[in-house]
Structure 1
Amino acid sequence: MFVMTVDQRRSRRERDRVPDLLARFTDTPVVRSFDRTAGDEVQAVIAEASTVVDITLVLAELGTWSIGIGAGAVEEPLPDVTRAGRGPAFEAAREAVTLAKHAPGSVCVRGPDTDTAADAAAVLSLLAVLVARRSPEGRAAVEQMRAGRSQSEAADALAVSKQAVSQRLAVAGWQAEAAGRRTAIRLVERVDPRRDVAS
């Protein structure tokens, strides 16, 4: 199981962004939804590594969150609300979010396999830096690709030429993100070796 603990950066100088985050991930497939734990911090329980990576990159694009990812066991049955959960994955996520506040890309991963966790954090940090630096035009083009559209369909939706979409995707590093995302998913999945046994 994965636990994500996410803390708003510069919360004393900015408005409370937790309600926006909760609304954004309402339809995301999770085991326990994001829940405010304290102050400007939220936490969720997630079963799939791909979902963890998807959420991480969305938060990295927003640029206002420190992202801690913990892998491991959780005490079951899980309570109805995330903040009442306990177990090693929760402890790992707590450690990770603290370290994320000073990490590149504001991302950290912790779990039983510490070497793989460090590798996963490195790849996610690179991806986080990549997506955070995109222009609004680049982000709009990438959103079209993530929605499964072709470049021609994206061009129509954005009211630009196909060549403009291609250029925006190149500058935004879309192909690098796609490859890096696949690597990140594999690494996050392996942070808890017991998942391989269970599967």
Structure 2
Amino acid sequence: MFVITADQIDSRNDRDRAGEMIDALIARFPGAFILPPDQTAGDEIQMLLTDARSTLDVILDLQRSGHWSIGLGIGEVRRPLPASARQASGHAFVGARAAVTRAKKAEGRFGLELAGPTGAPPLLGAEEVEALVTTLLLLRQRRTTEGWAAVDLLGRGLTQVEIAAALEISAAAVSQRLRSALWRVDQSAQPALVRLLENLQHATTETGPAA
């Protein structure tokens, strides 16, 4: 399973953003969470997922907001599951805790830990997959507000001509914004990262439930 623990950046000098972030994630990814995202230690949120695609999407959303250090733990979780994420335990939760601690000092504010015993060796280790995810996060971090505007409209299914009309710019300018935003690189990288996350998850599910 996948456990994400996110710690709010510079929370002492900012308002508590946990509640609104939880509400936004639930609205954007209905049905993605095995347990509802939960506010744990003050300015921290925690969530449990089984799907690698949804896990990457949540990480990307958290990172885009600019307010979170993100730890991803991959491993088994103690069963039966409790009513809330804050009551849950297991290897994946331990891994997420270690990962978010490292993420606070990492350039991309992201850490990944493969926790507990593993079976067959994964295609790439956790450290290598973490580096690849971080590369994507840093790419997206450099995207301008104008680039995001074009990318978001494209993601909603608009054509470049329609995006140009919506933004009141030329179609050539839309194309330039998408190139500068490295949209195609972003979209090409995501399926590969999902496969690598799935492979890490598979390496932990061959060994039985967490102790």
Q: TM-score, normalised by structure 2?
A: 0.86
Equivalent residue number for residue 13 of structure 1: 13
Alignment partner of 1:12: what SS?
helix
Equivalent residue number for residue 170 of structure 1: 179
**How many Å separate the matches in 1 of 2:162 and 2:82?**
44
Runs (4 or more) in structure 1 with deviation over 3 Å come to: 112-115, 194-198
**How many Å separate the matches in 2 of 1:18 and 1:160?**
36
Query: 1:41 is matched with which residue: 31, 44, 53?
Result: 44
What amino acid is aligned across from residue 146 of structure 1 in structure 2?
A: G
**How many Å separate the matches in 1 of 2:182 and 2:65?**
17
**How many Å separate the matches in 2 of 1:32 and 1:162?**
44
Query: 1:116 is matched with which residue: 118, 121, 125?
Result: 125
TM-superposed deviation, 1:33: 2.0
Asked whether the equivalents of residues 116 and 187 of structure 1 are also in contact (C-alpha less than 8 Å), the reply is: no
**How many Å separate the matches in 1 of 2:102 and 2:61?**
19
Asked whether the equivalents of residues 39 and 45 of structure 2 are also in contact (C-alpha less than 8 Å), the reply is: yes
Which range moved further: 4-13 or 57-66?
57-66
Query: 1:50 is matched with which residue: 48, 53, 75?
Result: 53
**How many Å separate the matches in 1 of 2:154 and 2:129?**
24
**How many Å separate the matches in 1 of 2:184 and 2:99?**
28
Q: Specify whether residues 158 and 92 from structure 1 end up closer, same or farther in structure 2 by C-alpha distance, changes over 3 A only.
A: same
Alignment partner of 2:12: what SS?
coil
TM-superposed deviation, 1:57: 1.3
* 1:68-107 correspondence to structure 2 within 5 Å: 68-107=71-110
Aligned length: 198
TM-superposed deviation, 1:197: 9.4
Equivalent residue number for residue 165 of structure 2: 156
- Computed over aligned residues only, the root mean square deviation of the Cα atoms, in angstroms, reads 2.0
Alignment partner of 1:61: what SS?
helix
Asked whether the equivalents of residues 76 and 205 of structure 2 are also in contact (C-alpha less than 8 Å), the reply is: no
Equivalent residue number for residue 26 of structure 1: 26
Query: 2:189 is matched with which residue: 170, 177, 180?
Result: 180
